[in-house]
C-alpha cells in the first residue's frame, strides 16, 4: 500500500498509542515497537510526541521531541522497526489547553483564553498571531527532527479534544474573530497549515498523516460526523497522504468490551473513504480476521488500524499471514493497558504478559527459553495464573500437571465472564486452553482438589499454587479495618453468591469498598434478575478505579439508567435484619435504609492455607522430593487478572533462571543520565 512517498508491506497499521513509557523509558519503548514490526505490523507509530515545552505532559509519560537531544530516543525505536521491515511513524502533538506544562512552567496555549483542569496553571493563554507563527515553526522543526530520527511517516494530530488544532476547530474553545475563528474555513485553517508546512518540510521522503476525530459522541454539543466532521474531510480530502480517522474523546475511541463491540467506530468513520483517494486507516478493536476482511472488502478503510489488538498480540499480522488464526491472542477490551499509562507507569496487558517487559526482562511474546531440566511441575488451580504458568511451562517443554478443584477451568475468569458485559474476558481462559490442548506433555485434571497429602503423594519436584482468593464476608476493606457489626447475618452475601445466583430477595444493598468494576457489574446482574438495588460506596463516585480504564462515566450512566439508587461518600456502619445503617464519611451522621439482602464487595483473602501447611513441614517436603514451592496470582496477593497472568508467566520463565539474575532486582533498569 502506497502512503505518499513510502510503501507499506501490508495493511496492518499500528496506530499511535500511549504506552506509559514515552521518553522516560526509551529502551523499553524501542524494543516494544521493534517487536511489533517483527510481528508483521507494516506501520508502527509512537505515542503522542510533544513538539515543544509549551506542550508538556509530564508527569504523564508521553514522548518529547523538543530539541535535537531528543532525537536518539526516536532513532532507537526507528532502528528496531526498520530492522524488521516496518515503517516508523511519529505522532507530532501540541496539546494546547489540555497541557498544564507542570515541569516546563510555561503558559499553556489555546485559541481563546480557557481554563484547564490542572490547578498548578489553571488557565491557558489566547494565542496571538505571533504565537500561531511560532507554533507552526515548532511543528516544522519537530517534523525535521522526526525525519532525522528515521521516521517514514509523521502525523499532524487533530484527534481527541486534547490537541491544539482540534481546539481551534471546535467553537466551544475557539471564540476568535480573526482569520482563525468564526466560520469553519477559518477554524480549520491551522490544521491545513500544519499539514502544508509538514509536507513542505519533509514530504519529499516522509508521508504526512492526519489523525482526525470526526465525531465527539456528544451529539449537538460537539463535533458530529454528519456535519462539520464531514465538511472538514471534504475540505482537506486530498491534502494529507493518509487519513487516520477515529472518534473523540479517548474514552469513546478506546471503548472497553463492556460497553462496545468490535468495529464500534464504523458508524462514524465509514464515510471518509468515499471523500478521498488517499488511504484511510480506522480502528475499532479489530481482532477477528473476518471483521478485518469485511472492513477492507466493504471499502470502509485501506488499513486495519490497531492499538490494543497489537498490544495483546504483537504477532497478530504474522499469525494471519501464516494461517494460524487460533493462535491469535485476542484483546479482551479491558483497558488495563490504559490504566498503566494513566498511572504514569509502563503499560501492562491482561492477555500479553510480556508487554512492557521486552527490554527490561528480555521477554519475547512468542519465544520462551527451552526448559532447563526434565523436572515435572505440578500447577494447582486453573485460573488465569495457573493456566498461564502451565502454558508457558509447556511452551518451554516442561512436563506439567495442572490440577483444578472445580469441574470447569478458568477460575475467576469463568465466573466473571458470565457477568453482564464481560463475556470477552473468557478469551483469557480460552486462548490458553487452546494452546495447552496441543501439548501432550501438559495434562489438566478437573475436579481434583489438592490438599497437603495429595501434593506430597504426587511427588513432583516443583509445585506452584495458583489457588486464587475468596471475597471477604466481614466487610473489612479500604474504609473499615474491623468487621462491620452484623456482617455474619444470614442475609449478608459476597460477590461469589451473586455470581452463583444465590440471591433471590430484594431490595439488595451492595456495599462497594473495592472500587473496581465488580460492584457495578453485580448491580447490573441483580437488576437484570428483577431486583431493586442500592449501591453504597464511601468513594466520591461509583467504581472509582474504573477512571483509569476510561469507563467510570459509562458505568455511572448505565447504573443510573437502570434505576440503581446510588449513595456516594457513605460508609456501611452496621447491618441488622432487614436494614442497614449508613454513615456519612464526613459527618458520621447515621441513617437507616431497608435492605433484605446485603452484598459486601470489599476485599479478598488469598487461598494459601495448603501452601502454608506445606511450608510448615520441610521434612515432609524433603521426603517427597519436593524441592520448590511457590505462590502466584491471587493467592500471592489478590489483584487484577493481568497481574495473575503476569505472575504465571514470570514463574514459568524464572523456574530455572540463571544464577546471574539479581533476585532482589530481577530486571534491567533505565537509568537517568547525569549531565
Task: Considering the candidates 56, 197, 244, 253, report the single residue annotated as catalytic.
Answer: 253
Neighbours of 489 (CB within 10 A): 11
Residue pair 219/247 in contact (Cβ under 8 Å)? The answer is no
User: Taking a C-beta distance cutoff of 8 angstroms, is the pair 633, 647 a contact?
Assistant: yes
Identify the active-site residue in 157, 173, 180, 651. Answer: 157
Q: How many angstroms from the chain centroid is the CA of residue 551?
A: 11
Task: Give yes or no for a contact between 191 and 137, defined as CB atoms under 8 angstroms apart.
Answer: no
Contact partner at residue 644 from ligand ADP, ligand SF4, none, CB < 5 to 8 Å by partner kind? ligand ADP
Query: Within 257-316, which residues bind ligand SF4 (CB under 6 A)?
Result: 308, 311-312
**Least distance to ligand SF4 from the beta carbon of 188, Å?**
33
CA neighbor of 567 nearest in space, from 546, 544, 584: 584
Question: Among ligand SF4, ligand ADP, none, what binds residue 403 when CB lies within 5 to 8 Å by partner kind?
Answer: ligand ADP
Identified catalytic residue from 94, 160, 252, 515 = 160
- The answer to whether 334 is a known catalytic residue is no
Pick one of ligand ADP, ligand SF4, none as the site partner of residue 279 (Cβ within 5 to 8 A by kind): none
406 makes contact, choosing from ligand SF4, ligand ADP, none, with CB < 5 to 8 Å by partner type, with ligand ADP
CA separation for the pair 542, 519 (Å, rounded): 9
From residue 302 to residue 331, what is the string marking binding to ligand ADP with x (rule CB under 6 A)? Answer: ------------------------------
Nearer to ligand SF4, 34 or 333 (CB): 333
φ/ψ bin of 468: left (φ > 0), alpha (ψ from -120 to 50), beta (otherwise): left
Q: Kindly state the DSSP code that residue 511 receives in the 8-state scheme.
A: E
Which residues within the stretch 435-474 sit at the binding site for ligand ADP (CB under 6 A)? 448-450, 466-468
> 525 preceded by cis ω (within 30°)?
no
Cα(657)–Cα(662) distance, integer angstroms? 10
Task: Pick the closer one to ligand SF4 by CB: 302 or 313.
Answer: 313
Binding-residue pattern over the window 326 to 355 for ligand SF4, x denoting contact by CB under 6 A: -----xxxxxxx-----------xxx----
Site for ligand ADP in 609-648 (CB under 6 A): 610, 633-635, 644
Annotation marks residue 349 as catalytic:
no
Phi, psi of 531 (to 5 degrees): -95, 150
Contact status, residue 314 vs residue 35, Cβ threshold 8 Å: yes
Cell of 107: 503558559
The single residue among 190, 380, 400, 492 that binds ligand ADP, judged by CB under 6 A, is 380
Cβ proximity of 349 and 298 under 8 Å: no
CA gap 25, 17 in Å, rounded: 15
C-alpha cell belonging to residue 637: 496477593
Tell which residue, 273, 365, 318, has the closest CA to residue 86. 318
Residue 247: how many CB atoms within 10 A of its CB?
A: 27
Among 44, 158, 393, 403, binds ligand ADP (CB under 6 A): 403
H-type helices in 40-123, by residue range?
71-83
User: Which of 208-216, 224-232, 233-241, 382-390 is the region at the interface with ligand ADP (rule: CB under 6 A)?
Assistant: 382-390
337 binding partner (options ligand ADP, ligand SF4, none; Cβ < 5 to 8 Å by kind): ligand SF4
Closer CB to ligand ADP, 126 or 603, in the complex: 603
Give the three-state DSSP class for 512.
strand
Query: What does the alpha-carbon distance between residue 342 and residue 18 come to, in Å, rounded to a whole number?
Result: 9
Residues in binding contact with ligand SF4, number by CB under 6 A: 13
Q: Which of 16, 34, 333, 381 binds ligand ADP (CB under 6 A)?
A: 381
Q: Is 253 a catalytic residue?
A: yes
Three state DSSP letters for 549-601: CCCHHHHHHHHHHCCCEEEECEEEEEEECCEEEEEECCCCCEEEEECCEEEEE
Q: What angle do CA 635, 641, 643 make, to 5 degrees?
A: 70
331 is catalytic: no
Beta carbon of residue 346, minimum distance to ligand SF4 (angstroms, whole number): 12
Q: Which is nearer to ligand ADP, 445 or 667 (CB)?
A: 445
Nearest-approach distance from CB 193 to ligand SF4, in angstroms: 35
Quote the least distance from Cβ 266 to ligand SF4, whole Å.
Answer: 19
Minimum Å gap between C-beta 1 and ligand SF4 is 25
Instruction: Assign 3-state DSSP to the chain and report helix, strand, coil percentages, each to 5.
Output: 35, 20, 45
Out of 235, 406, 547, 548, the only residue in the binding site for ligand ADP (CB under 6 A) is 406
- What is the number of H-type helices and E-type strands within the chain? 24, 29
Residue 62 makes contact with ligand SF4 by CB under 6 A: no
- Give the one entry of ligand ADP, ligand SF4, none that residue 161 binds, where binding means its C-beta sits below a cut-off of 5 to 8 angstroms depending on kind: none
Minimum distance from residue 311 beta carbon to ligand SF4 (Å) = 4
Residues contributing to the site for ligand SF4 (CB under 6 A): 308, 311-312, 331-337, 349-351
Catalytic (active-site) positions:
18, 157, 160, 253
Residues contributing to the site for ligand ADP (CB under 6 A): 380-386, 403-406, 411-412, 448-450, 466-468, 607, 610, 633-635, 644
Amino acid at each position: 500500500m502506497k502512503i505518499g512517498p513510502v510503501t507499506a508491506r501490508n495493511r496492518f497499521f499500528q496506530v499511535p498509542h500511549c504506552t506509559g513509557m514515552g521518553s522516560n523509558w526509551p529502551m523499553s519503548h524501542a524494543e516494544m515497537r521493534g517487536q511489533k514490526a517483527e510481528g508483521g505490523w507494516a506501520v508502527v507509530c509512537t505515542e503522542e510526541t510533544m513538539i515543544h515545552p509549551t506542550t508538556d505532559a509530564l508527569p504523564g509519560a508521553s514522548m518529547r521531541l523538543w530539541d535535537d537531544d531528543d532525537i536518539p530516543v526516536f532513532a532507537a525505536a526507528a532502528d528496531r522497526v526498520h530492522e524488521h521491515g516496518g515503517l516508523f511513524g511519529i505522532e507530532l502533538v501540541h496539546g494546547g489547553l489540555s497541557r498544564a506544562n507542570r515541569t516546563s512552567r510555561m503558559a499553556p496555549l489555546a485559541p481563546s483564553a480557557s481554563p484547564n483542569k490542572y490547578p498548578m496553571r489553571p488557565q491557558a493563554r489566547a494565542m496571538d498571531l505571533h504565537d500561531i507563527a511560532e507554533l507552526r515553526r515548532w511543528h516544522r522543526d519537530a517534523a525535521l527532527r522526526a525525519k532525522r530520527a528515521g521516521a517514514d511517516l509523521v502525523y499532524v494530530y487533530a484527534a481527541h479534544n486534547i490537541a491544539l488544532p482540534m481546539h481551534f476547530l471546535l467553537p466551544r474553545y475557539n471564540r476568535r474573530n480573526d482569520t482563525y475563528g468564526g466560520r469553519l474555513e477559518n477554524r480549520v485553517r491551522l490544521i491545513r497549515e500544519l499539514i502544508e508546512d509538514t509536507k513542505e518540510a519533509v514530504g519529499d521522503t516522509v508521508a504526512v498523516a492526519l489523525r482526525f476525530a470526526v465525531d465527539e459522541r456528544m451529539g449537538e454539543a460537539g463535533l458530529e460526523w454528519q456535519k462539520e466532521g464531514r465538511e472538514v474531510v471534504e475540505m482537506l480530502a486530498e491534502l494529507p497522504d493518509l487519513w487516520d480517522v477515529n472518534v473523540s474523546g479517548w474514552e469513546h475511541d478506546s471503548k472497553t468490551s463492556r460497553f462496545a463491540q468490535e468495529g464500534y467506530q464504523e458508524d462514524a468513520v465509514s464515510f471518509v473513504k468515499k471523500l478521498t483517494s488517499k488511504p484511510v486507516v480506522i480502528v475499532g478493536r479489530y481482532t477477528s480476521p473476518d471483521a478485518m476482511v469485511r472492513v477492507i472488502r466493504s471499502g470502509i478503510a485501506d488499513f486495519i488500524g490497531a492499538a490494543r489488538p497489537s498490544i495483546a498480540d504483537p504477532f497478530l499480522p504474522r499469525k494471519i499471514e501464516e494461517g494460524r488464526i487460533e493462535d491469535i491472542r485476542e484483546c479482551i477490551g479491558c483497558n488495563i493497558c490504559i490504566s498503566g499509562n494513566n498511572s504514569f507507569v509502563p503499560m501492562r496487558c491482561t492477555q500479553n504478559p510480556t508487554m512492557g517487559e521486552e527490554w527490561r526482562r528480555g521477554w519475547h511474546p512468542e519465544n520462551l527459553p527451552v526448559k532447563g531440566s526434565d523436572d515435572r511441575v505440578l500447577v494447582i488451580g486453573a485460573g488465569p495464573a495457573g493456566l498461564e504458568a502451565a502454558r508457558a511451562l509447556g511452551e518451554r517443554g516442561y512436563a506439567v500437571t495442572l490440577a483444578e478443584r472445580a469441574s470447569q477451568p478458568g477460575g475467576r475468569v469463568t465466573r466473571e465472564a458470565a457477568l453482564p458485559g464481560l463475556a470477552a474476558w473468557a478469551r483469557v481462559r480460552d486462548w490458553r486452553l487452546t494452546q495447552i490442548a496441543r501439548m501432550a506433555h501438559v495434562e489438566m485434571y478437573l475436579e481434583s482438589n489438592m490438599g497437603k497429602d495429595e501434593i506430597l503423594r504426587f511427588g513432583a519436584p516443583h509445585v506452584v499454587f495458583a489457588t486464587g482468593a475468596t471475597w471477604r464476608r466481614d466487610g473489612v476493606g479500604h474504609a473499615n479495618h474491623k468487621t462491620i457489626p452484623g456482617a455474619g447475618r444470614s442475609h449478608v452475601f459476597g460477590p461469589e453468591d451473586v455470581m452463583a445466583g444465590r440471591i433471590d430477595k430484594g431490595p439488595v444493598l451492595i456495599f462497594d469498598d473495592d472500587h473496581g468494576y465488580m460492584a457495578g457489574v453485580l448491580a447490573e446482574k441483580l437488576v437484570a434478575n428483577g431486583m431493586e438495588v442500592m449501591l453504597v460506596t464511601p468513594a466520591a463516585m461509583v467504581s472509582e478505579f474504573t477512571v483509569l480504564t476510561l469507563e467510570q462515566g459509562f458505568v455511572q450512566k448505565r447504573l443510573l439508567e437502570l434505576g440503581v439508587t446510588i449513595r456516594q461518600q457513605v460508609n456501611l456502619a452496621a447491618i441488622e435484619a432487614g436494614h442497614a445503617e449508613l454513615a456519612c464519611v464526613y459527618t458520621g451522621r447515621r441513617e437507616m435504609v431497608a435492605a433484605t439482602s446485603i452484598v459486601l464487595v470489599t476485599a479478598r483473602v488469598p487461598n494459601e492455607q495448603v501452601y502454608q501447611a506445606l511450608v510448615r513441614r520441610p521434612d515432609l517436603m524433603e521426603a517427597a522430593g519436593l524441592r520448590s514451592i511457590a505462590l502466584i496470582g491471587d493467592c500471592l496477593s489478590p489483584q487484577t487478572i493481568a497481574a495473575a497472568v503476569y505472575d504465571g508467566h514470570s514463574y514459568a520463565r524464572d523456574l530455572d533462571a540463571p544464577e546471574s539474575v539479581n533476585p532482589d532486582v530481577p530486571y534491567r533498569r533505565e537509568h537517568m543520565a547525569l549531565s
